Amino acid sequence: MKKISLTGIKPTGELHIGNYFGAIRPALELASSYDARYFIADYHALNTIKNPKELSSLIRGVAAGWLAAGLDPEKVIFYRQSSIPETFELSTQIAAFTPKGLMNRAHAYKAAVRENSEKGNDPDAGINMGLYTYPVLMAADIILFDSDVVPVGSDQVQHIEMAQDIAQAVNYNYKQEVLKIPQAMIQQNAAVVPGLDGRKMSKSYGNTIPLFSPEKQLRKLIMRIVTNSQPLEEPKDPEQSQIYLLYKLFATAEEQASLAARYRAGGMGWGEAKEELFRAANRELSPLRERYEAIMADPAGLDRILAEGAAKARPIAAATVKRFRKASGIDL
């Protein structure tokens, strides 16, 4: 029996190449050694996205993006959180075992409170209960599917620890293993991708290259990468250049060595380096973009894939909720 991995994908922004190399590719690699489950965390997105058109297009776009990147819905389970009502029952069940103080300590909530106090606002301004109880819903997502490991970035480790605490509190109270205790898995091979301005590529910095940019836009964005004023003749250190760091993600080992040599030799300007980057990026991203466009052109097909995933997921979820119901005395 393979161990179970679970990845939650919050559809709050257009996918970019930082997501691709930093999260999507490493998470998809797990499918070869784990019984892998992936879901679109759409109710988590509702905490921040209140425009219905925007939310539905993000849900479709992000789901299509993962499929285009290689998620194989025949080999793994791929579903939407909102299609699994058991999530919300388990969330209520475990809320009874979650100390309020634990939620007070959650990083995302604390950051929102801090921002309010720095601005002189009421500490609760703009904070909804969805944000406050986010760790409970996330714990339910994880525990519902008997997850052994959850691949996450370091910003999410605290949430996994909270899921462990909550599941342990349930098991301790009923003196039996009602819920499986999940482990965080920090991805070793996740790349940190530099953005157009040299900082980490992130939606919040506005420095991203969207993963499915049409060719023209891809080129335009690459040409916009910020560079220093080193003259053309001067030898350049490839490892100090974000153009080269991005190039490494797309190019073969020989291509990398050859471009690095041109950097060090001098005589190559930034414009030329950007052309090389565009060529390599477009070569890798073109087939992805084509698959993405084909999936987006067939929304009924996409919905069918997600419905089939939900049908595979629900019996697993129902069994967990049932275990809790039995152990707790709710089932008479």
Chain residues binding ligand TRP by CB under 6 A are 6-8, 10, 41, 44, 138, 141-142, 150, 152, 156, 159
Give the residue from 160, 130, 171 showing the smallest Cα distance to 47: 130
Q: What are phi and psi of 62, to 5 degrees?
A: -70, -40
- The least distance separating ligand TRP from the CB of residue 27, rounded to whole angstroms, comes to 10
* Contact present, 216 and 286 (Cβ < 8 Å): no
* Shortest distance (Å) from residue 19 CB to ligand TRP: 10
Residue 44 or 219 having the CB closest to ligand TRP: 44
- Closest separation in Å from C-beta 141 to ligand TRP: 4
Which CB, 77 or 246, lies closer to ligand TRP? 77
Q: What is the DSSP string of 118-169?
A: HTT--TTTT--HHHHTHHHHHHHHHHHTT-SEEEE-GGGHHHHHHHHHHHHH
Start-end of H helices in the chain: 17-19, 25-29, 42-45, 52-68, 86-95, 100-104, 107-118, 129-132, 134-144, 157-174, 215-223, 242-250, 253-265, 270-296, 299-328
Rounding to the nearest 10 degrees, give the CA dihedral for residues 167, 168, 174, 178. Answer: 50
SS3 172: helix
Q: At 328, which amino acid appears?
A: S
Smallest distance from ligand TRP to CB 316, Å: 15
Closest to ligand TRP by CB, 68 vs 136, is 136
Q: Rounded distance, CA 51 to CA 167, Å?
A: 34
Q: Which residue is nearest to ligand TRP (CB)?
A: 8
Q: Are 220 and 30 in contact, with CB atoms under 8 Å apart? A: no
Residue type at 241 in one-letter notation: S
Q: Nearer Cβ to ligand TRP, position 11 or 194? A: 11
Which residue's CB is nearer to ligand TRP, number 159 or number 219? 159
User: In the complex with ligand TRP, which residue's Cβ is closer, 37 or 289?
Assistant: 37
Residue 5, beta-bridge partner list: 36, 149
Q: At what angle do helices 270-296 and 215-223 cross, to 10 degrees?
A: 150
CB of 239 to ligand TRP, least distance (A): 30
Minimum distance, C-beta of residue 301 to ligand TRP, in the bound complex (Å): 25
In the complex, the smallest distance separating the C-beta of residue 182 from ligand TRP, rounded to whole angstroms, is 8
The nearer residue to ligand TRP, 49 or 142, going by C-beta atoms, is 142
Choose between 156 and 282: whose C-beta lies nearer to ligand TRP.
Answer: 156
Q: Least distance from C-beta 26 to ligand TRP, angstroms?
A: 13
Q: How far is the CB of 101 from ligand TRP (least distance, A)?
A: 20
> How many residues in the chain?
332
Q: Which is nearer to ligand TRP, 44 or 274 (CB)?
A: 44
Rounded distance between C-alpha atoms, residue 96 and residue 215, angstroms: 51
